[in-house]
Chain A
């Protein structure tokens, strides 16, 4: 009859013995609070420095010369120009130096793709729900840049060509799929371990040696492409070095400014010294390690685009330097926390550019710079350390939208760490999210990774997967509208929605409803529709991939990815050790529930013929409200631990996974599925007709792996049971399951124990991922009414967190409505 089980009790005491500084550092120091306040009060903006530097480069002598160079070299020269000509900016109080944009909080503009959609809002930037502040001059500049570069973006080059216009329209309408790769690939966990331990000089020396000898390390002679690659590596590293030097000079100048505080002066001079050393050379101290990671991260952001650029397992990478600092007395744990907090606050300086139209698919202004903590080494032994805890402590001091924190859960995880992670969740910011090592490692092996490499996984962005520093995963290549394929299967490839006279078929020509006489016919038609959509989608992605090789190769990324320097190939050319393209499904629960309802109504109970049902759906349940209510209220739904529906959900997931996994990308890599939807389930929902599970046309779809809102009637444990029931082996790009609690339900020590137990049990049963939102519905309603009340209120939207005020009204509504599990 004791609440504390052995599992909680014993390791706890051991932990306290092993980790003497178990005390949390939850209170922000003054300087951290100052930086946070500075960032919070700065309005959002767009930084035009990057596109202006690109234009400057194109018009310069160097730029003209570059035109005749190999595409890899051309790109490296441009990148190097950007990096070495950015104006360095030093902000007050910061430990970590290196500005992400030319403003305090702003989005970088990427003319290559991903940013041009802001043109849709150009004339009402300040009137948007999330206003963007630009001066009149900058607005004009933005307009000019947008117009001049719109057609030269990768998406434009790949799609605006004769014969591809219908695909372009398809892409633009975003009905069956939303190809996010058009904006950029981004999404990477680079080899920051290498950056910290060896510095960029290792890559530089390899490139130099290969160029000098004209051979690869294994003795193969270099081709022209490989030569160009190594040259591009050297040019890029040179650019990063110059950027570091400029920052170093700026720090020195700031330090020598009259009136600088003595302590601050010393700090700045130290930083200046560090910046002359890293990231080119191996880091010598903890702070240098952080600084090196940050500068390389900035370079990654300058190179491709901002989404999902992640740091990987920072607690592992930096631990040797931390230990060294603690042992020789040069570093105190509380200083380390302060440095980590300053580092995490740096990640808040950036945001993406989304027009309000795109915002319905990716609401929340998150870029998800992931930090993964905890987990095992390559042999499967637990490697949680003090730093893992300190990363959480640092976050609990700042409670901001970025970075994304991810905790790996496995059976050998110390109890104190899970407790601490849950304490952070209880703060109500939706962080960290949790990943089950067993399921994830299985799924990564299924994608072709060795067990050891799979165990060294880190999370990209929100939930996506990579073996850190070894993987080139276009992890957010495309989002896929799975329920729409079921709709098309019931209507010979036509949508239920829209114009009925001049209708264009958007899917495959599957048989009419009255020709499908057994349930297997429906499943087959559904499979065909999914396969058809995936084929079309993969075709568009292949065009983009071809364009990326020429227009947007990524040398920084290649330096940070194992395999590239060995093969002499850029990642966009297939240099990465593991190469993946990942496609995400939205509306999985809707599809599973619909398949179940359809089978029961038509084939088991015989209440309707299939064509009758299709007719009812086409009319959006008009005149059949009792039937719709029955479907919503009385039919079993996914998320209640009901094995029959869960099996149908598995069927839907398998149809999707198999269609995805049958493809290969142009780099020779695999296509892998993931089950998450950002906020695409809202955008896709508007384009999807009524479904057999009683969902009306235009309503939002289910989110990631979560059940349909309001359909979970047996509490959160049943949701977890259903989720863990599904076989996640094929989901190599992971999944996103959201559960939310009323703050009151899970407060305090008892709440912590209950949540910890719930998580442990879920992952014991084979769960893959879950994120827990602790929120107070009244608080949210108030926040919606008056955005000024809780300016810093963070909620987890899908795989990522956002400030509640940044969300569109209907996303806000959804977050309020989502089942808040409280007392009955």
Chain B
């Protein structure tokens, strides 16, 4: 599948060590109610409309090959082919297209001028989304190319991918001994071959609640997390660092926190980044004409402090994004 990418950003300081550039892949298997990037849900291209920027010049109408626009901001989705002609003609950036495909070479060209900043700061590239693991082949090839340039790679994932890939083995020529370390028979998934760090997003530990708030169960996610943690421990995979969004009354309940704390400790992970909830995403929903999700109150400082306290009591070190101690070694 050719991936669509909705944004490439430089100078990101909160998603892995050092100064990083982020590549946001479009498409996500989950639908978390609090999601702040609704433009990342669908894998296909989408057109967003920011009414406050529209100057009413009608250039979008005039240039639509399908005559799908009858008034600026009013588009017939059934006729729209997402050719982005309107986006390209909009002078004021009121129309924004999400989801373009890039070749590996062009991504490299965009990133290359930033290399010196990564190198000096110990930073690199972070794949995010959406869900980058939807495009395993592309990630594998892209990270291979970037690795050749000596760039460190981080991947952020919601963890919802096929756990089977931990068991798929390449056919070995006869006589070559499989070097997979014992005692497990896990193998490193191909798309994580050149990835140095996985930021693993966890949300709700309870399967039913996960279905309720994220639209899908979490069995695969939990399996993948413990598999990755095991791989990392035996040195057969990238480092895993969990992150959890702190959503008032949803993820910061005592049950959820203690459930995750147990699970993480059992998997041998004793650190966690807490991402405080903000509601900047609601504006993006309006631009994309998505009926607004449930209103979630802003996170209070006390609530965050309480969350930290509960997790710390379990022996989990909590960090805010960008302030992680990446040198922390596993027990």
Contacts and interface: CB of A to CB of B under 8 A. Distances in A.
A714 interface: yes
A359 B324 CA distance: 45
Contact of B11 (A4, A633, A716): A716
B117 A5 contact: no
Interface in A671-696: none
B19 A721 contact: no
A746 B117 contact: no
A542 interface: no
A748 B325 CA distance: 12
A415 to B, nearest CB: 11
A2 B120 contact: no
Contacts of A716: 11
Given A626-B55, A629-B55, A630-B91, A714 B120 contact: no
A757 interface: yes
A625 B116 contact: no
A765 B113 CA distance: 11
A757 B117 CA distance: 7
Contacts of B123: 754, 757
A761 B322 contact: no
A821 B91 CA distance: 24
Contacts of B122: 2-5, 753, 757
- Counting chain A CB atoms within 10 Å of each CB, the highest count among B57, B92, B152 belongs to B92
B11 A746 contact: no
Given A2-B327, A627-B91, A823 B121 contact: no
Contacts of A1: 17, 152, 196-197, 239, 326
Contacts of A718: 10, 113
B207 interface: no
Interface in A745-778: 745-746, 748-751, 753-754, 757-758, 760-761, 764-765
A633 B57 contact: no
Given A625-B57, A750-B323, A717 B17 contact: no
Interface string B84-112: 00000001110000000000000000000
A706 B239 CA distance: 40
A792 interface: no
Interface in B288-309: none
A641 B11 CA distance: 13
A401 to B, nearest CB: 29
B279 interface: no
A721 B196 CA distance: 27
B59 interface: yes
Interface string B1-34: 0000001011101100111000000000000000
Majority secondary structure of chain A interface residues (helix, strand, loop or mixed): helix
Nearest to B17: A3
Contact of B116 (A633, A641, A764): A764
Given A5-B120, A629-B55, A823 B14 contact: yes
A757 B121 contact: yes
Contact of A748 (B113, B119, B120, B323): B323
A2 B152 CA distance: 10
Given A633-B93, A757-B120, A626 B9 contact: no
B120 A7 contact: yes
Contact of A753 (B121, B196, B239): B121
A511 interface: no
B262 interface: no
A715 B196 contact: no
A823 B15 CA distance: 11
B140 interface: no
Nearest to B7: A824
Nearest to A744: B322
A716 to B, nearest CB: 5
Contacts of B13: 745-746, 750-751, 754
A316 B92 CA distance: 53
A737 to B, nearest CB: 15
A230 B239 CA distance: 74
B114 interface: yes
Contacts of B7: 824
B17 A761 contact: no
- Counting chain B CB atoms within 10 Å of each CB, the highest count among A3, A630, A745, A758 belongs to A3
Nearest to A719: B11
B150 to A, nearest CB: 13
B88 to A, nearest CB: 8
A504 interface: no
A717 B114 CA distance: 7
Contacts of B113: 641, 718, 721
Interface residues of B, number: 33
A262 interface: no
Contacts of A124: none
A635 to B, nearest CB: 10
A634 interface: yes
Contact of A715 (B10, B59, B324): B10
B91 A629 contact: yes
Interface in A710-737: 714-718, 721
Interface string A1-14: 11111010000000
Interface in A601-653: 625-630, 633-634, 641
A748 B320 CA distance: 11
A750 B122 CA distance: 11
B326 A2 contact: yes
Contacts of B116: 761, 764-765
Contact of B57 (A626, A714, A753, A760): A626
B11 A625 contact: no
A625 B94 CA distance: 14
Contacts of A7: 120
B280 to A, nearest CB: 8
Interface in A786-800: none
B323 to A, nearest CB: 5
A753 B18 contact: yes
A644 to B, nearest CB: 14
Contacts of B59: 626
B14 A758 contact: no
B323 A749 contact: yes
Contacts of A758: 11, 19, 117, 121
A655 B14 CA distance: 42
Given A626-B59, A715-B9, A823-B14, A754 B239 contact: no
Interface in B30-57: 55, 57
Contact of B117 (A2, A628, A717, A751): A717
Contacts of A751: 13, 322
A666 B239 CA distance: 68
A754 B19 contact: yes
Contacts of B324: 750
Nearest to A641: B113
Given A717-B11, A824-B9, A754 B121 contact: yes
Contacts of A3: 17-18, 121-122, 326-327
A708 to B, nearest CB: 15
B235 to A, nearest CB: 13
Contacts of A749: 323
B282 to A, nearest CB: 14
Given A1-B197, A629-B91, A717 B10 contact: yes
Given A2-B122, A824-B7, 20 more contacts: A3-B121, A3-B327, A5-B120, A625-B55, A626-B59, A633-B91, A715-B10, A717-B10, A721-B114, A746-B13, A750-B13, A750-B322, A753-B18, A754-B19, A757-B18, A757-B120, A761-B120, A764-B116, A764-B120, A823-B14
26 contacts: A1-B17, A1-B196, A1-B326, A2-B326, A3-B18, A3-B326, A4-B122, A626-B55, A626-B57, A629-B57, A633-B91, A634-B91, A641-B113, A715-B11, A717-B19, A748-B322, A748-B323, A754-B11, A754-B18, A757-B18, A757-B121, A761-B117, A761-B120, A764-B120, A824-B7, A824-B9
10 tightest Cβ-Cβ pairs between the two chains A and B: A757-B121, A630-B91, A629-B91, A3-B17, A715-B11, A626-B57, A629-B92, A715-B10, A757-B120, A626-B91
